[in-house]
Chain A
Amino acid sequence: MSGSGRLSSLLIHGVLILGIAVIAFPILIALIASSHDQITLVGKFPFYFGEHFIENYRTVLGEGMKRAGGGAVGPMLMNSFVMAIVIAVGKIVISILSAFAIVYFRFPFRMGFFWMIFITLMLPVEVRILPTYQVIANLELLNSYTGLTLPLIASATATFLFRQFFLTVPEELTEASRIDGAGPMRFFWDVLLPLSRTNIAALFVIVFIYGWNQYLWPLLVTQEESMYTVVMGIQRMVTVADAQAEWNLVMATTILALLPPVLVVVLMQRWFVKGLVETEK
């Protein structure tokens, strides 16, 4: 590498680090704010960590913003966690089963079902807000985990992903297990499911984040505080915080709300990248 090459390489690293710093800046600010008491944050922003870090997090987790009428964040995190897990597992189970049926069987209406699932790509919650809400209300599923999760577990992309993958599985495997006398479910359990492990892992990461980050749907379906998820709970705190200025507690909640999905992405990076690329195909 020539001298100018080294200089430009230094410059490239410099710009990259600057970019990362700018992107991470909001998180740094939130972390700092969550370590101070309420009064410190009122004046000029303090560019150092305060001493109230543990105290603030303990407060929001245990009792929430009591003075401002905000609920405890502990149960909200629990609700978010249940919601994300149920949606992820549910989506994977119903998608892998329907993909298995569509690829490995010939039956009337097979392509009809396939197109029905495909069309749901075009029906995001946002365009059918009111009627979907009414369906849930009529089924008396408001303020329940079922109402929170069931409408979100149907997925065209997950079904596609499994279908595409099953189509690449060699026919010899199917033939061999048929010669061995294995029925379809046996083949599914012993051959197809083990082969799908990486796809399932990749999909799990993507769908977990999708479930955890849901906002509009929980906003509609939950009216009882005991059912709030943390992502939607924050918005209520902001509205209150503006009047009460308890930004230290709001920022502590924000950190708690973004930590689980961010950890999943960072720790399962390989699956995450695979899932992101595959589901967009």
Chain B
Amino acid sequence: MHKRVTFDNKLLPYLLVSPQILVTLVFFFIPAGEAVVYSVFSQDAFGIEINFVGLDNFLFLLNDPHYLRSFGITVFYSVAVAVSALIPALILAVLADGVAKGATVYKTLLIWPYAVAPAVAGVLWVFMFNPAVGIVAQWLRAAGIDWNYKLDGDQAMALVIFAAAWKQISYNFLFFLAGLQAIPKSLIEAAAIDGAGPMRRFFTIILPLLSPTTFFLAVVNMVYAFFDTFGVIHAVTLGGPAGATNILVYKVFNDGFIGLDLGSSSAQSVILLLIVVVLTVVQFRYVERKVQY
């Protein structure tokens, strides 16, 4: 994809790209390069002496039960957020696609949570589930459930999953709705004439045709849970109780800024970097260019 007609100018194109390239170099490439460099050095407790340690930081991490636990927690958390955000969105989108009147009104009423910051979403949920004053916590207690997410790791995990998934439903809803609207109505009508009921039509026609959208959204949701929900964790649990919600991104922050362990934090950054590379490649190579039937 190139233009046939272009302009001739020796200096101008460089001037035009320079702001973008400068910002990219100073704030992306240099820091990422430094993370890689730091990851092969070790600092003593006082930060005075720095030694080259090769891959020791990585080997240490891969043998560190805390790190492996955080890794497992992150995978579980990401999958749970993706599933919890995809299923309600799909149901709502299928229903909204089916209504003859008012589909736009429903759309407006469902898309706004996208604009709520993850940290703010976290605070909304913290208040509802606060063991002392939260309304849902009061309901749970009335139902006989001993609710205290500050002490119970599983409850804390459930809370951050819901808070993170809540604001992502609108995003998924929009893409599912677009995908559904791209499915030719004649196809569904033909199945109806053949006697297929609504459930049958959904599982044998709509869902398979929607699979590119679903796969695309699954990847986007995992990436979102992995990297964009730092605010949820920081506002709701601070990674606790006892590390039960300590996802990788939070651990990098915590070890680097609170624990001041430069080498380990950098090695963790590099591992995250590799994960992003893999996810990006998956997204670009295997995810269909969305809804083109």
List residues of A whose CB falls within 8 A of some B CB: 9, 12-13, 15-16, 19-20, 23-27, 29-30, 33, 41-42, 44-45, 93-95, 97-98, 100-107, 110, 113, 116-117, 119-124, 126-132, 134-135, 150-151, 153-154, 159, 166-167, 171, 174-175, 178, 183-185, 187, 209, 212-213, 215-216, 219-220, 231-232, 234-235, 238, 242, 245, 247, 250-251, 254, 257-258, 261-262, 264-266, 269, 272-273, 276-277, 280-281
Contact = CB atoms under 8 A, between A and B. Distances in A.
Interface in B221-255: 227, 230-231, 234-235, 249, 252-253
Chain B interface size range: 35 or more
The main secondary structure of chain B at its interface with chain A is: helix
Interface string B277-289: 1001000000001
B35 A251 contact: no
B35 A213 contact: no
Contacts of A262: 112, 115-116
Interface stretch (B18-26, B58-66, B151-159, B203-211): B18-26
B69 to A, nearest CB: 19
B110 to A, nearest CB: 6
Contacts of B138: 44-45
A64 B31 CA distance: 36
A171 B127 CA distance: 57
Given A231-B117, A258-B116, 13 more contacts: A23-B113, A98-B19, A102-B13, A105-B6, A105-B16, A131-B32, A131-B34, A167-B3, A215-B117, A245-B133, A257-B120, A265-B112, A272-B111
3 residue pairs, one from A and one from B, having the closest CB atoms: A213-B117, A131-B31, A101-B16
11 contacts: A9-B100, A16-B96, A29-B124, A100-B16, A105-B13, A116-B21, A123-B276, A124-B276, A135-B26, A209-B114, A238-B235
Contacts of B41: none
A30 B102 CA distance: 27
A220 B265 CA distance: 15
A97 B20 contact: yes
B126 interface: yes
A128 B32 contact: yes
Given A45-B135, A95-B20, A128-B32, A150 B273 contact: no
Interface in B118-142: 118-121, 123-128, 130, 132-135, 138
B149 to A, nearest CB: 12
B24 A254 contact: no
Contacts of A130: 35, 38, 256-257, 262, 265-266, 269
A171 B5 contact: yes
Contact of A250 (B115, B123, B134): B123
Nearest to B284: A121
Given A105-B6, A130-B35, A131-B35, A29 B269 contact: no
Given A26-B124, A178-B5, A265-B111, A245 B132 contact: yes
A215 B13 contact: no
Interface stretch (B49-57, B75-83, B166-174, B183-191): B166-174
B6 A128 contact: no
Contacts of B99: 9, 12-13, 16
A90 B252 CA distance: 29
Contact of A16 (B92, B231, B257, B273): B92
B38 A12 contact: no
Contacts of A126: 227, 230, 249, 252-253, 272
Given A250-B127, A265-B114, A276 B171 contact: yes
Contacts of B33: 131
A251 B123 CA distance: 8
Contacts of B32: 123, 127-128, 131
B193 interface: no
Given A12-B99, A29-B128, A215-B117, A132 B235 contact: no
A174 B30 CA distance: 38
B197 to A, nearest CB: 11
B109 interface: yes
Nearest to B265: A130
Given A16-B99, A122-B273, A245-B132, A105 B12 contact: yes
B276 A269 contact: no
Contacts of B27: 132, 135, 150-151, 154
B72 interface: no
A216 B6 contact: no
Contacts of A265: 111-112, 114-115
Contacts of B110: 19-20, 23
